[in-house]
């Protein structure tokens, strides 16, 4: 009880102990539970919903690109997810940063490809005749195909460079881990040799 904290002697101490025993209850066996705040609930919902929403976005992106998505985007996204899972298993201390990087790169890949697809569909409807009327001067007949060609090339490069950048980032993380472990092993070896030398009798 709280009255145990008083060590005074005499009538004053006894009076204080009596008051404490009456007005203060024993909380030594009580368990205090922290109330869950709205911020904690929202972060929990977001952490559970974000991967699911990202997965559906990946499925939507693959379906929009049909064969291009099935033959190129599917293995790329699968490789990125797999690489993230392997890095989390190897580096559990960096789990949060690896998950955020994986989700961020895949989100950028999906949104970037969808935006480029939309841009290609918009400029593909522009013909050389339309451009000729706009600029009031004759233009080559191939002018209308130049911009869609550039955008298609940008789409292909973007789809390839995003996973390469991600895999390079995670590979660098694993290389740094290997270097750190080799350095620690070498330091332990040197300390062991030094300890053996110091233990020799003179």
pLDDT of residue 17: 54
Task: With respect to residue 143, please indicate whether it lies within any of the assigned structural domains.
Answer: yes
pLDDT of residue 85: 92
Judgement on whether residues 70 and 12 belong to the same structural domain of the protein: no
Upper half-sphere CA count for residue 195 (Cβ side, 13 Å)? 6
| 65 and 126 both lie in a single domain | yes
Residues 86 and 129 in one domain: yes
Whether residue 67 lies inside any domain: the answer is yes
Would you state the torsion angle of the CA atoms of residues 49, 53, 54, 58, taken in this order, to the nearest 10 degrees?
160
123 and 172 together in one domain: yes
CA 153 to CA 143: how far, in whole Å? 16
Q: Which domain holds residue 23?
A: 1-31
| pLDDT tens digits in sequence order for the chain, 202 residues long | 444 444 444 445 555 554 455 445 444 444 545 566 666 677 777 777 888 899 999 999 999 998 999 999 999 999 999 999 999 999 888 888 999 999 999 999 999 999 999 999 888 877 767 666 666 667 666 666 778 888 999 999 999 999 999 999 999 988 888 887 777 777 777 777 655 555 555 4
Q: What DSSP state is assigned to residue 34?
A: P
Residue 16 sits in the same domain as residue 68:
no
The answer to whether residue 54 is domain-embedded is: yes
Q: Is residue 11 part of a domain?
A: yes
Residues 71, 5 share a domain? no
Q: In this predicted structure, what is the pLDDT of residue 193?
A: 63
57 contact partners, CB below 8 Å, separation of at least 6: 107, 110
In a domain, 120, yes or no: yes
* Residue 43 belongs to some domain of the structure: no
Cα 99 from chain centre: 3
Co-location of 17 and 61 in the same domain:
no
pLDDT of residue 36: 65
- Co-location of 157 and 65 in the same domain: yes
Residue 149 confidence (pLDDT): 85
The answer to the question of residue 194 being in a domain is: no
Residue 93 and residue 85: Cα distance in Å, rounded? Answer: 13
Structural domains counted in the chain: 2
């Amino acid at each position: 009880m709280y009255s145990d904290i008083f060590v005074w002697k005499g009538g004053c101490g006894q009076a204080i102990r009596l008051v404490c025993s009456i007005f203060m209850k024993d909380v030594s066996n009580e368990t205090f539970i922290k109330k869950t705040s709205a911020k904690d609930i929202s972060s929990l919902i977001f952490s559970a919903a974000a991967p699911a929403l990202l997965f559906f976005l990946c499925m939507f992106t693959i379906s929009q690109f049909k064969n291009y998505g099935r033959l190129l985007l599917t293995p790329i996204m699968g490789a990125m997810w797999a690489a993230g899972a392997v890095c989390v298993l190897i580096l559990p201390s960096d789990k949060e940063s690896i998950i955020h990087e994986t989700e961020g790169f895949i989100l950028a890949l999906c949104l970037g490809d969808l935006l480029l697809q939309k841009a290609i569909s918009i400029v593909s409807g522009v013909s050389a005749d339309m451009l000729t009327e706009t600029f009031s001067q004759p233009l080559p007949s191939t002018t209308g195909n130049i911009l869609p060609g550039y955008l298609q090339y940008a789409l292909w490069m973007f789809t390839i460079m995003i996973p390469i950048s991600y895999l390079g980032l995670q590979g660098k993380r694993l290389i740094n881990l290997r270097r750190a472990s080799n350095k620690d092993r070498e330091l332990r070896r040197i300390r062991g040799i030094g300890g053996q030398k110091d233990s020799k009798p003179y």
